[in-house]
Structure 1
C-alpha cells in the first residue's frame, strides 16, 4: 500500500485508505437538465437519516426554504430563476413570464427559465476535511465515499474551513459536524442511497463512478446536439484540483450560477511544502538563537586575543628601543 496522497490523480482512494479487495468506487451523477425541483431527494434524505427540520420558515428565496447545505440538510435543491434583460414590460409595468415556450436568457424571444439542481457533498477523491480531522471521525469507506462518525467528532470544526465547497457544517446545539454519508448503511445492505431511490426523473443517478462518467459524457453530447450549448460537466475530471468528485453534475450554465466554485482546489494540497518551509524557518530560528548566545563570547574572545597581541607587540617594540 502506498502512502496517502494530498493532490493529483488517484485512481483508487479506497485502497490508498487501507481497504483490501474494495468494490468499485461508487458515486452520484446529478443531471440538472431533468431536475423538476420536487425536493423528493431532500425529504427522502431527511427521513432515512432522521435529520432535524430546518425551521420551516419562509425564506423569501423563491421556492427554496432550505437555502443551502448544512449539518441538518444533506441534500439541497436550488431554484435559480434567470430573467432575460429583454423581457417586455406589460402596461402594468410587470414583465411577462410565459409559462410555456420560454428559452434561455440571451436568446431571441427568451424571457425566463428555471435552473434546478440537487446539491450534495462531493465525496472528493482528495478530501481535505478528512485530512485535517484530528480524531479520525472522518474516514474513507471501502466504496470510496467519505463519512463522518458523529460519536467520534469532538466539534473542533477544522473540517468546516477545509472543505473547498463549503459543504460540511457544525450543528449549533453541540458543535459536531455532519454531512452526506451517501447512505453508507444502505450501501452495505446492497441498496442505493435514499435520494437516488426517491428521484422521480432519475436526475440523481447512483452507481459505479466510471460508468456514471461514461453515461454523463454521452448525455452532454446528446444535449449539445439538441442545441443546449451550455451543457457541461462539473466535478467529473480526475485531473482537477480535488482529483475528481464522487458526486458530479451536468450543468446548464456556469458553475458560479449554481453557487459552485469554478476551480475548486483541495485546501491541504500545499501542506508538504508548508511543512518544509516551516522546518526551514525553524532551523534558521534555532541557528539564530544559538548564534545570538555564542557570538558575544566569540567576539569577546577575539577582542581579548587582539588586545593581547597588541600588548605583546608594544612590549617587543619597547624592548627593541631600549637596546
Structure 2
C-alpha cells in the first residue's frame, strides 16, 4: 500500500512558501481566494474581542485564513504575529488514503485537490487531516479546501492569493526553488538576531514527508495554531491491514481445524 500517493510526484513540484515575517495582515489573499474560486461568504464574521482575526480558522468557506496573534514581549511592549494559513498539500496526504470515491487526487503539479462533483460527503478526509484543514459545507455536506488554484496553474498563472499579496509574504513556484529561497531568508533573519525564526513544513523527513505549502514562523508552531509534530494519520494502515489479515487467517484456520476435529470425532 502506498501512503499518500507519493509515487507519482512531479518534477518540478510546485508549492507555496509563506514568509510570515513580512505579512501585514491585509487579508488580500483571503479576498482574492474567495473571488477567484467562488468561495461563499464565511459563516461567522464577527469581532471576537480576542483578536483582530475575524474569520477564526480554515474551513469549507475559508481556504486562506490570516491569523492575528498579539504577544507581550519581555520588554513589556506588544508585537503582532500575522500568518496566512492554507492547506499544506502534504507529501504524505492522509486525505488521499481514506477517500473512497477518488474525489481527492494528486494533480500533475503535486498538489492535492477535491473534485466536488465526485465527493459523496462521507467526511472521512476531515479527521484524517493532521492539520484540520478540510471541512464540509452545511448546505451540501461535501468536503472543500484550497486547490492551489488548479485551474489557474493550467493556464500558466500563479494562484490568486500569491498574485494578490502586496508584500510577497505568499510566494509560489517550484518547491525546490522555494526551499532554497526559504533557507536563505532564515539565514538572513538569524544573522540579524531573530533567533526565534524557524521553518515549518520544510523538512522532508517529518511526519508528513514535508509540505507543499510551508512557512517561515517567528515563534513556536503552536502559537500560530499549528501542530508541532504533524504525522500522517494513515501511517500505520499497512501494518494494521497485515495484522488484521493474519488474525483473519488464524480465525479461519482455527475454525477449519475445529470443524475437521468435530467430523473426525463424529465418525468414531
**Cα distance in 2, alignment partners of residues 276 and 139 from structure 1:** 25
1:279 to 239, 245, 248: 245
**Whole-Å Cα distance in 2 between the matches of residues 154 and 60 of structure 1?**
38
Q: Distance in 2 between matches of 1:23 and 1:162?
A: 27
Residue by residue over 1:1-35, the C-alpha shift from the partner in whole angstroms, topping out at 9 and shown as x without a partner, is xxx7327xx9xx4xx33x8xx56111000001111
Matched, 1:232 2:198: yes
| Shift of residue 299, structure 1, vs aligned partner | 5.0
Q: Find the aligned partners of 1:61 and 1:159 in 2 and give their Cα distance.
A: 30
Q: Which residue of 2 aligns with 1:115?
A: 81
1:153 deviates by 0.5
Q: Which residue of 2 aligns with 1:220?
A: 186
Q: 2:174 aligns with which of 180, 187, 208?
A: 208
Cα separation, 2, equivalents of 1:185 and 1:297? 66
Partner of 1:51: 39
Deviates more, 1:223-232 or 1:54-63: 54-63
RMSD (CA atoms) = 1.8
Q: Distance in 2 between matches of 1:179 and 1:23?
A: 24
Partners in 2 of 1:287 and 1:157 — Cα distance? 36
The residue that corresponds to 1:80 in the other structure is 69
- Where does the alignment leave 5 or more consecutive residues of structure 1 unmatched? 84-104, 305-323
Work out the CA distance in 1 between the residues paired with 2:49 and 2:149: 31
Structure-2 residue corresponding to 1:262:
228
- Listed one character per residue, the Cα deviations across residues 206-241 of structure 1 (whole Å, up to 9, x for unaligned) are 111000000000101110111110000000111111
**Contact 1:62/1:79 (<8 A) preserved:** yes
Q: By how many angstroms is 1:300 displaced?
A: 5.9
1:56 CA drift (Å): 2.7
Structure 1 length as normaliser, TM-score?
0.79
Larger radius of gyration: 1
Match of 1:6 among 3, 6, 11: 3
Q: 1:246 aligns with which of 186, 199, 212?
A: 212
* 1:74 and 1:120 in contact (8 A); partners too: yes
Aligned residues: 267
Cα drift, residue 111 of structure 1: 2.7
CA distance in 2, matches of 1:264, 1:56: 29
Counterpart for residue 56 of structure 2: 67
Among 179, 182, 185, which residue is 2:145 paired with? 179
What SS does structure 1 have at the residue aligned with 2:3? coil
1:134 Cα deviation from its structure 2 partner: 0.9
Q: Is the 8 A contact 1:120 1:167 kept in 2?
A: yes
Gaps of 5+ in 2: none
Q: Tell me the SS of whatever aligns to 1:249.
A: strand
Answering whether residue 31 of structure 2 is matched by residue 34 of structure 1, we say no
More deviation, 38-47/109-118: 109-118
Give the C-alpha shift of residue 138 in structure 1.
0.8
SS of equivalent residue, structure 1 residue 245? coil
- SS class of match (1:200): coil
C-alpha distance in 2 between matches for 1:299 and 1:230? 75
- Whole-angstrom CA distance in 1 between matches of 2:166 and 2:113: 26
Could you tell me which residue of structure 1 aligns to residue 92 of structure 2? Answer: 126
TM-score by length of 2: 0.94
CA separation in 2, counterparts of 1:286 and 1:52? 53
Whole-Å separation in 1 of the counterparts to 2:3 and 2:120:
23
Q: Indicate conservation of the 8 Å contact 1:169/1:178, yes or no.
A: yes
Specify the SS of the correspondent of 2:210.
coil
Specify whether residues 282 and 266 from structure 1 end up closer, same or farther in structure 2 by C-alpha distance, changes over 3 A only. Answer: same
